Amino acid sequence: MNALRIGMVGLGTVGTSVWKNLRSQGELLAARCGKALRIEKVSEKNRERARLAGVPEAQMVDDWRELVRDPSLDVVVELIGGTGVAAELIRESLSHGKDVVTANKALLAEQGRELTAFAAERGKRLLFEASVAGGIPLLLALREGLIANEILSLHGIINGTCNYLLSAMTSRALSFQEALREAKELGYAEADETLDVAGHDTAHKAVILSALAYGFWPALYEVHTEGIQNVDPLDLHFAQELGYRLKLLAILRSHPKSGEIEARVHPTLLRKGHLLSSVRGVFNAVAVRGDVVGETLFYGRGAGGDPTSSAVLSDLASLARRETTAPSMVPSGRQVALTLRPMAEILSRYYVRFLVEDHPGVLAEIARIFAARNISISSVIQPEGHRGQTVPLIILLHQSQEADVQEACRIIETLPTVKRPAILLRVEDLDGEEGRSS
């Protein structure tokens, strides 16, 4: 039987799982692909790690450059991470006639446009199913399963660490720091949690999803990104009372008339009745709305060695099944040049919490300021049982423009009766997506 000859660089958590699972699933893959998938060479600086993984000494290569230049190999799997050496490795592999499989979301978010073009120029394939949502075949669905659809919107819970933290804070009334400490003890959060909790990991994935959904690579620094490190358990409590749950979402939405794409990451209130709001713990889920199919939901484990290795093996199987050059991961053929819609111009509903003096007329003054900017209030809650001279005031707003809401809040914060800066959270009503694109 013919074989797809593979070189792999990196034997961390994912690389070790790829090595292990390809050995255990090799016969199944060969039967389904009509071709054996064989890792011929491995490059890993830590020889002890390679020994523990069971990689024979004869298959080890000290220098990754020797591996990528080996003419006997068909494909290189890059699993070292980072944006420096990894970029050089991928370019070198493509230049030497190799297809490439990677899980490197940070690199793709920064250089994905250039690297995919570099691969296309050389008639090679750069595949990256494992870069978003771990073992969920989301990119495959966007590229092939939903090929007959224009993607109207995408809402994704695509960082398991943040979803675990918000789930723990909501269900057990933990503080952020308490939930984070627990997540680290369980291995769900890194020692330095910043990349996850500040929203940067989710933003990396949002850029990749935009490329797959729309063929448009937004600049990473232009994607509005907020994390969950400042989420107050008090707002989780009030959200529950109002019938919502808070999730960190990557949100993409197309506006065909203006040729714009929204791409943003921030904590978002979802109605409890929507399936996304019920996703708990470290699981990922993505709701994709197509113009033909309507809403579809993808759910599963978004990280970890085995789920991510499943996606890597999926890409390798795709290469093994195709004798000729496969279509690009990124769709082409769009006639209209797309741009990123500025955050100030997005439309959303809003949850706003003020701390105000408990005096007559305060609400009327706040409502007047909102009304002056054509912002209408859908409901107001002033919880009972608060003692003292200040009370929380929670206001839900109808759909409004971001810039108008931000300006109104800045003015309201200058009122002598308002004692702290406003807490502002955006609200997404996913059941009412129709009619949102413009």
Marked catalytic residue, from 205, 257, 272, 419: 205
Q: 264, 155, 161, 258: which is closest to 220 by C-alpha?
A: 264
- Please tell me what DSSP assigns to residue 143: I
Kindly list the distances between the CA atom of residue 322 and the CA atoms of 69, 315, 317, 319, 404, in Å, as whole numbers in the listed order.
Answer: 22, 11, 9, 5, 52
Residues 6+ apart with CB under 8 A from 230: none
Residues 6+ apart with CB under 8 A from 170: 236, 240, 245, 246
205 is catalytic: yes
> Whats the size of the chain, residue-wise?
438
Adjacency order of strands within the sheet including 3-9:
60-61, 36-43, 3-9, 75-78, 99-102, 126-127
Three-state DSSP class for 228? coil
Distance CA 277, CA 360 (A): 37
Q: E strands within 327-431?
A: 339-340, 347-357, 377-381, 390-401, 423-428
- Angle value at C-alpha 77, between 186 and 333, nearest 5 degrees: 105
Backbone angles phi, psi at 217, to 5 degrees: -100, 100
| Bridge partner list, 283 | 301
Say how many C-beta atoms besides its own lie within 10 A of residue 163's C-beta: 23
Distance CA 158, CA 225 (A): 14
Residues annotated as catalytic are: 205
